[in-house]
Amino acid sequence: MAKDLTTTGPDHVAIIMDGNGRWAQKRGKPRLFGHHAGAKRVRQIVEACPDLGVKYLTIFAFSTENWRRTQTEVAGLMKLFRRYIEREARDLLANGVRVRFIGDRMKLDDRLVQLMDDLELLTSGNDRVHMTVAINYGGRDEVTRAAKRLALEIEQGRLTHRDVDAETLARFLDTHVLPDPDLVIRTSGEARISNFLLWQSAYAEYEFIDTLWPDFTAEEFAEVVGRYAARDRRFGAVKV
């Protein structure tokens, strides 16, 4: 999505919430203990968004690669997502948060998918903050699924190869209703993007910060968002 060249605060912040496992290990606790602490952080960060002028928040909760973790951790995370939705739904609705989920739902448990669908519907009238949660999400997987659906449109005669351009392909992405992220934050000191919003982040600014996700406070979030405003974004253009 095109944007004007004046830099203000980010409209859309995307976060790779990394470091839950190390946070728990440092305390001699199981990894899931860190994920539970991480889930509590999510609430504080979402609530901080309106005051910072952040309209869209997209968070990476479970990647297409995370299935490789132990069965205990995967099952624990899936249960945590279900409980999070059950417990937070009322407050998310009351706080004006519109929740969406991206990622491939085919591999997810039916109970979780039902809760996701219900929460999307329940909050669909909200517009204060748009929170998107990526579950079983991978950027390459998303682009591949989009390409498949686009190919089907062509096969069935609704589009031709002449219609295929970046804009048309983007209409088939999970994120088709969202603007591109302006700022991508990754916590825990790792400087990788790990298959997150590959297409959408083509012109995003990145912030890699050392804090482990369960320690990432609303104050630090405000600092990182503040630093963004000082950056000079040109989207490939030359400044005049």
Q: Among all residues, which ones are annotated catalytic?
A: 18, 66
In contact, 205 and 233? CB cutoff 8 Å = yes
| Shortest distance, position 21 Cβ to ligand FPP, whole Å | 3
Query: Rounded distance, CA 36 to CA 33, Å?
Result: 5
Query: Rounded distance, CA 179 to CA 149, Å?
Result: 21
| Shortest distance, position 73 Cβ to ligand FPP, whole Å | 8
Query: Rounded distance, CA 215 to CA 54, Å?
Result: 20
Q: Which of residues 125-184 bind ligand FPP (CB under 6 A)?
A: 133
Residue nearest to ligand FPP (CB): 21
Q: Tell me the window of 12-20, 117-125, 154-162, 201-209 that interacts with ligand FPP (CB under 6 A).
A: 12-20
Q: Which of residues 43-72 bind ligand FPP (CB under 6 A)?
A: 59, 61, 66
Which residues neighbour 147 within 8 Å (Cβ) at sequence distance 6 or greater?
Answer: 169, 172
Query: Rounded distance, CA 208 to CA 186, Å?
Result: 5
**Residue 22 interacts with ligand FPP (CB under 6 A)?**
yes
Binding residue for ligand FPP (CB under 6 A) from 38, 76, 103, 139?
38
**Residue 119 interacts with ligand FPP (CB under 6 A)?**
no
**Residue 33 interacts with ligand FPP (CB under 6 A)?**
no
Binding residue for ligand FPP (CB under 6 A) from 42, 116, 185, 204?
42
In contact, 7 and 231? CB cutoff 8 Å = yes
Residues in contact with ligand FPP, total (CB under 6 A)? 20
Judged by CB, which is closer to ligand FPP: 10, or 103?
103
DSSP per-residue letters across 169-208: HHTTSTTTTSPPPSEEEE-TT----TTSSTTTTTT-EEEE
Judged by CB, which is closer to ligand FPP: 40, or 148?
40
Q: Tell me the window of 33-41, 107-115, 147-155, 232-240 that interacts with ligand FPP (CB under 6 A).
A: 33-41
Per-residue CA distances from 80 to 54, 138, 211, 229, 230 (Å):
26, 20, 22, 34, 37
Binding residue for ligand FPP (CB under 6 A) from 10, 21, 76, 138?
21
Beta strands in the chain (DSSP E): 12-16, 56-63, 97-102, 129-137, 183-186, 205-208
Interface residues with ligand FPP (CB under 6 A) are 17-22, 31, 35, 38-39, 42, 59, 61, 66, 80-81, 84, 133, 188, 213
